[in-house]
Structure formats: C-alpha cells, structure tokens
Amino acid sequence: MTDQITDAPPAIPDGPVAAEPAGFYMADAQYKALTDTLTAAGIELGEYDARIAAWLAKWEWGTVAVIASWVARAAASRPPEPAAAPSDLDAAETPSEDDR
C-alpha cells in the first residue's frame, strides 16, 4: 500500500499506539492537528511554543500523531474542574435566619 500525500486533517489516535500511524500529511495539516490538540487540552501557546509546533509538524506523521495522542489522552484523563464554590462574599450577602 502506498501512502498518499494529502492536506486533509489527520486523525489523532485516541488510545495507546501499538504501531506507527500510517500516512503522510502536509506540514500545514500536521501543524493544525497538533495545535488544535494542544488548544483543546487547554494549553495556551506562546510564540516560541508555536515555532516548536511548526518545527515538529515537519516530522513524519507517525511522530506528530503519537505526541498529539499523548497530549489528548493526558488531557482526557484529568478529572473535571470542580464547580466554583460560593465565596465568603456570597455568604455575607445572603441574609441569615436572624436577619429575616
């Protein structure tokens, strides 16, 4: 089977990777897949972060896919953020039984 070159958005593996992900994608598509994964994981990219992502996007797809998969799986394994607890200020604004 011959890998085709495409600029279609590649799919990031969503589980442990047992074999090198196949395919060859244009660097722009790989950069978008990588930065979209980082952003979805809540990672804000600085200028140097973006430069490293652009450099990494020029590597073969198997490397980019596995790194993006690590980020996505790590983000998915985090427990959800707890809901904000009422602050002391909120409690002070609520009249108590004695104030009614």
Is the pTM higher than 0.75? The answer reads no
The radius of gyration of the chain from alpha carbons, rounded to an integer in Å, stands at 22
Residue 28 lies in a domain: yes
**34-89 pLDDT, tens digit each:** 999 999 999 999 999 999 999 999 999 999 999 999 999 999 998 877 877 766 66
Note down the domain range covering 64.
Answer: 23-82
Output the DSSP codes for 24-70.
EE-HHHHHHHHHHHHHHTTPPP-HHHHHHHHHHTTS-HHHHHHHHHH
Tokens describing residue 77: 């394994």
Tokens describing residue 99: 């104030």
What is the tally of structural domains in the chain?
A: 1
Residue 92 lies in a domain: no
